């Protein structure tokens, strides 16, 4: 509290000196100030100190002197109006100086667009690596997870005191889970309860899993009041830090919760934001510690807040050719999607368990659902990569994928949520959970971004992947298989054959005398249409571990 009192006193003194005219009355004796002036300054200072304290305490604004520019302009302007003579001249000059600073702050977004773009510049690649189909993507939608947690709220002691807080996805003990704190439901509940009892955890990959309530008392929380409010507590300990984004709950592998918040600095003139690190708070004791991004503890997944990543995406997409181009010509402008689950971005995990924020970019032209690329931002380092996709194909954006789902289930009134682009079998594909009107998960829908007519859906992501592979082959697509699947060769005699005509191609399923089933499209091997029982074959296939193994090359003896 000491810092805010000292800062308020300094601000109050500056305001009082600006406001009170010290030369409007004559001095009684040379060298002695008029007592009424001293009294006015003292009274104005007391009021200004109390006002500054209330302003900074309530708003939680950073306590850098640049944050008081509006107060400075108002005080200097009023002081110049009340003053006379040389004092009016001086205070008018200060007022004009304040106006200049204010104009600089207010128009900085026009002039620092290039700096913003450079701060958010991304490495550019063509396509992400293929997803390992033997693994399960973290694809339980937040709305469904939240509904399940609410239904399990009876596990919380003194339930009427609390409500469910914001969800945060992370990896705990090698598993992908949603974390949601229990929060106070109001001031009087906080006065009675003083601390919250814990948090919920729920699998982010298994939609059939049930929430678990973890008992961990927390005193400093977002729903606490006065100095126990977590954001105010952080501000008290780091008065000059520039924060961006809400506080988030992170849990270590032992199940102990911590609140974190991203800090950084303005790009210029109190405008824009560039991340530098995080502040970590123990919500039980209130102990705080600041870390730069390179020193962030290993258990923290979301060091860079989703709000910060959303800003970076906006800088990268809009300011490629400066501010005015983003308003008028819009040449090369790419608009980040607003379909993300957290501040317009969606957190996903790669095969190494690292969390990234996904965002797709679309054209600023209305009525166009063609994707111009997509970005993945590392949630611990803030490093981002922009993927252009196959430039020879036109990819559908996330809004287009949601519209397909809406039309597919128009009678049932189901909608998609949290569309994420993956590389499934070498094909850029949207994976989207489908929810009913009550927010309950109904299925998982996969659709090709380049060929929207190819799609599949099933009760689980892995079942949908298997159906999608078949749909790709039936649609004449080339299936590359899993990123982890080993390419193998074998020979044998055909025991059974099944052929199905799909479009311009034929999909051939066959069983060899080794007891394994294989699948090949006539697009890959045109002579496969002649395959029959008792043929001897040599094949190259991907050992994906599935019931029907995808064939990359087929040779029939005698043909």
More confident residue, 479 or 249: 249
Token pair of 249 as six digits = 């709950």
Lowest mean pLDDT among 33-37, 55-59, 493-497: 33-37
State both tokens at 475: 């649609």
Which pLDDT tens digit goes with each residue over 300-357? Answer: 999 999 999 999 999 999 999 999 999 998 999 999 998 888 999 999 988 788 999 9
**Cα gap 91→76, rounded to integer Å:** 6
Structure tokens of 447?
């659709």
From the list 423, 488, 414, the residue with the least C-alpha distance to 450 is 423
Percent of the chain with pLDDT over 70: 94
Give me the pLDDT at residue 34, please. Answer: 54
List the structure tokens of 337: 């999607």
Q: Over 60: is that where the pLDDT of 12 sits?
A: yes
451-498: pLDDT as tens digits: 898 999 998 888 888 888 878 866 655 555 555 567 899 999 999 999
For the chain, the helix, strand and coil percentages under 3-state DSSP, each to the nearest 5: 30, 30, 35
Q: pLDDT over 90 for what percent of the chain?
A: 69
Q: Could you give the CA distance from residue 508 to residue 529 in angstroms, rounded to a whole number?
A: 7
Tell me whether residue 56 is exposed, middle or buried, using C-beta atoms within 10 angstroms of its C-beta: 0 to 12, 13 to 18, 19 or more: buried
pLDDT band at residue 389 using 50, 70 and 90 as cut-offs: confident
* For range 238-257, the mean pLDDT: 96
pLDDT for 476: 52
What are the tokens at 157?
Answer: 């002691």
Residue 26 has pLDDT above 50, yes or no: no
Q: Give the residue among 472, 465, 542, 489 at the shortest CA–CA distance from 551.
A: 542
Q: What is the pLDDT of residue 97?
A: 96
Per-chain mean pLDDT for the chain = 90
Neighbouring-strand partners of residue 264: 242, 275
Range 107-110 contact pairs with CB under 8 angstroms and sequence separation of 24 or more? 108/268, 108/269, 108/270, 108/271, 108/272, 109/271, 109/272, 109/323, 110/323, 110/324
Residue 431: pLDDT above 80?
Answer: yes
Cα 39 from Cα 373, distance rounded (Å): 65
Q: How confident is the model at residue 391 (pLDDT cuts 50, 70, 90)?
A: confident
């Amino acid at each position: 509290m000491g810092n805010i009192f000292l800062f308020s006193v300094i601000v109050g003194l500056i305001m009082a000196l600006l406001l009170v005219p010290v030369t409007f009355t004559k001095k009684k004796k040379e060298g002695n100030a008029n007592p009424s002036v001293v009294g006015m300054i003292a009274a104005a200072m007391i009021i200004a100190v109390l006002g500054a304290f209330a302003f900074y305490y309530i708003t939680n604004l950073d306590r850098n002197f640049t944050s008081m520019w509006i107060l400075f302009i108002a005080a200097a302007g009023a002081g110049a109006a009340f003053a006379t003579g040389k004092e009016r001249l001086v205070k008018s000059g200060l007022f004009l100086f304040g106006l200049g600073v204010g104009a600089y702050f207010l128009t900085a977004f026009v002039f620092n667009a290039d700096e913003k773009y450079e701060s958010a510049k991304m490495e550019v690649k063509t396509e992400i690596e293929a997803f390992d189909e033997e693994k399960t993507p973290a694809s339980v939608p937040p709305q469904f997870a939240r509904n399940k947690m609410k239904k399990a709220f009876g596990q919380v002691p003194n339930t009427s005191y609390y409500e469910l807080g914001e969800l945060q996805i992370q990896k705990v003990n090698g598993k992908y889970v949603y974390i949601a704190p229990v929060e106070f439901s109001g001031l009087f509940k906080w006065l009675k309860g003083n601390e919250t009892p814990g948090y919920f955890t729920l699998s982010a990959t298994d939609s059939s899993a049930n929430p678990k309530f973890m008992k961990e008392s927390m005193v400093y929380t977002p729903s606490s009041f006065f100095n126990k409010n977590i954001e105010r507590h952080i501000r008290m300990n780091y008065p000059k830090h520039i924060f961006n984004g809400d506080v988030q709950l992170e849990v270590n592998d032992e199940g102990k919760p911590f609140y974190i918040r991203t800090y950084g600095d303005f790009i210029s003139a109190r405008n824009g934001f560039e991340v530098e690190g995080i502040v970590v708070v123990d919500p039980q004791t209130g102990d705080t510690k600041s870390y730069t991004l390179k020193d962030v503890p290993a258990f923290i997944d979301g060091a860079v807040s989703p709000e910060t990543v959303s800003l970076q995406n906006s800088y990268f997409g809009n300011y490629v050719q400066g501010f005015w181009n983003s308003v008028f010509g819009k040449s090369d402008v790419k608009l980040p999607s607003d379909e993300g689950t957290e501040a317009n971005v969606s957190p996903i995990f790669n095969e190494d368990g690292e969390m990234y924020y996904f965002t797709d970019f679309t054209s600023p032209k209305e009525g166009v659902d063609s994707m111009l690329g997509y970005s993945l931002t590392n949630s611990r380092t803030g490093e981002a990569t922009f993927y252009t996709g196959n430039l020879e194909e036109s990819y559908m954006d996330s809004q287009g994928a949601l519209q397909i789902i809406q039309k597919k289930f128009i009678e049932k009134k189901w909608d998609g949520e949290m569309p994420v682009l993956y590389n499934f079998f070498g094909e850029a594909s949207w994976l989207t959970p489908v929810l009913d009107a009550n927010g309950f998960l109904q299925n998982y829908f996969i659709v090709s971004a380049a060929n929207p007519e190819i799609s599949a859906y099933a009760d689980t992501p892995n079942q949908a992947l298997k159906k999608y592979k078949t749909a790709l082959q039936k649609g004449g697509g080339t299936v590359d298989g899993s990123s982890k699947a080993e390419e193998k060769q074998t020979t044998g005699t055909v025991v059974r054959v099944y052929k199905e005509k799909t479009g311009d191609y034929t999909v051939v399923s066959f069983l060899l005398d080794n007891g394994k089933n294989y699948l090949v499209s006539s697009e890959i091997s045109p002579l496969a249409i002649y395959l029959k029982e008792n043929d001897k074959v040599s094949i190259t296939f991907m050992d994906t571990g599935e019931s029907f193994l995808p064939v990359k090359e087929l040779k029939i003896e005698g043909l």
